[in-house]
Amino acid sequence: MTEIDPKKKKELEDLIVLLDDIRGRHTELVTVLIPAGTNISQVVRQLEGEKSTASNIKSSATRKNVIVALEMIIRELKKYRQTPENGLAAFAGNVSEKEGVQDVQMWIHQLPRPLNVKIYRCDQRFVTEPLKEMVDIEEVYGLLVMDRQLATIGLLEGKQIKVLQKLTSGVPGKIRAGGQSSQRFERVIEGLAKDFYRRVAEEMKKIFFDMPKLKGILLGGPIPTKEDFIAEGHLVTKLKEKIIAVKDIGYVDEHGLELLVEDSKEEIMEQELIKEKKILERFFQTLGKNRKLAVYGLGNVKTALGRGAVDIVLITKDYDKDEMKILEGLAEDTGAELVLISRENQDGEQFNNLTKGVGALLRFALE
């Protein structure tokens, strides 16, 4: 999975915030999401048909606003010979808060990651959920639920769970050994189980070993199967070290993956905070040990950016949007990295109290 360019990610996040703040007085906000690879001419024809359907809307004001919004989107889509590589999102509608006043505006956005869902909707709000999932996917988590008969390997991307592979063991359930001695029967069962663990480990290596965005692995299943799987030692050290949660799960199919993710929310949330925590630790340590290589406060950070001295800019997520855009532009011009800091934890709140929301780590000291 390709990483979103920080600037493109920020542009999409800003668009989502803007669109989510808009509420139509009636169902006159039009959302058109066009997946990657879609024939854009077919979409235009579909919207022309929707324009005819909209003529049946009873309210004359709503009818007029929907038709105008559709016409704006259609005109813009006709400029494209084909759908952009990752798909296209179009939003248009009457954003006026005054009854009877028309202010139809439009937003067209080429997406930074492939869009897989096609949507046309008129509503009192714009549909932004697929875009939110797109910007949420910075890291992915490997998933495994298993018992002695079945293993399901999956992937958590943002909020989407994908099934990647299913393996069966051939290990029989609880049946009598028949004419065989119980000891011999148990040895056969154990041999089949160990071979199954080895195959699962090999499949996980194929899928996850070279996955660059793999943040961690969640493992679930009944007691003691999952613990036996880990203890067998077939899983390579690199992947074993990435196991962040082991959960008792009664299902080992797609539903089991869903339960595993649900039960592992706290561990996932903690992992998401690790990068932020590390950068804040570095900031506070630099302030304490090498004060000249860290600055804070809007004026000081702007000065450092202007001189090309900034390595990383740290800004709280609720910082003034206009000032954030200025800092973002300065960071881009000088090749500085921009990291957004959440205030929903003690470290983030401490950073905000000290810096008033903005700080920077420097490449070199300012004279």
Q: What are phi and psi of 337, to 5 degrees?
A: -85, 145
pLDDT along the chain (367 residues), means of 10: 69 91 90 94 94 90 94 96 94 89 94 90 93 77 95 86 92 59 78 93 95 90 94 92 95 95 87 79 94 95 94 92 89 87 85 96 90
Helix locations, the chain, DSSP H? 6-20, 40-54, 60-77, 129-136, 182-208, 225-232, 237-240, 254-263, 265-289, 298-306, 321-334, 346-355
Provide the b/e sequence for 84-121 (b: ≥16 CB within 10 Å). Answer: eebbbbbbbbbbeeeeeeeebebebbebbbebeeeebe
Q: Which residues pair with 340 in a beta bridge?
A: 315
pLDDT digits (tens, 9 = 90+) for 193-233: 899 999 999 999 999 999 878 889 999 999 999 999 999 98
Q: Determine the pLDDT at residue 186.
A: 79
Pairing of strands 140-146, 160-168: unpaired
211 backbone φψ class: left, alpha, beta (φ>0; ψ -120 to 50): beta
pLDDT digits (tens, 9 = 90+) for 324-361: 889 988 998 888 888 888 887 788 899 999 999 999 99
Matching residue, tokens 């549909």: 127
Whether pTM > 0.75 for this model: the answer is: no
Q: Which domains, ranges and CATH numbers included, belong to the chain?
A: 6-136 (3.30.960.10), 140-263 (3.30.420.60), 272-362 (3.30.1330.30)
